[in-house]
Homo-oligomer: A and B are copies of this chain.
Amino acid sequence: MTDDGIVRHFFSGFIRLHILYHAAKEPVFGAEITEELIHHGYRLSQGTLYPTLHQLEKLGYLQSQTRVVNGRRRKYYRATASGKRVLNEARGKLHELVAEVLEDHNRDFQTTRRKRHDAGTEPKL
């Protein structure tokens, strides 16, 4: 099993995007997000989740509204216009990442590294 504590560095951005995405779709609150993320295989402690939400709100990507549901106080977050803009920017990057990492396994390396003039001397390991 891969150690989640270490691998987490790879996924903190993924988690934020999950949050932004859901908040763009409908109002969401903290505990609900935690469950949703667990369902996706992420573990996000409260000590990370809530500061993250506060941060995203402070940055203007989310906006909150407190409601009482079933006798419990919940803070619902939804994405602002600015948050949706970031989400769209992320979609672009996500698309590129997927194109590389998921899709063309068999194709040749076609990025700009060939612009370097030292090609022939690269090691083949």
- A interface with B by C-beta (< 8 Å): 1-2, 6-7, 9-14, 16-18, 21-22, 24-27, 32, 35-36, 39-42, 59, 65, 67, 69-70, 76, 78, 84-87, 89-98, 100-102, 105, 107-109, 111-114, 116, 118, 120-125
Contact = CB atoms under 8 A, between A and B. Distances in A.
A40 to B, nearest CB: 6
A95 B112 CA distance: 25
A115 B112 CA distance: 46
Given A18-B97, A97-B14, A111 B39 contact: yes
A20 to B, nearest CB: 8
Nearest to A104: B25
Contacts of A9: 12-13, 16
B10 A86 contact: yes
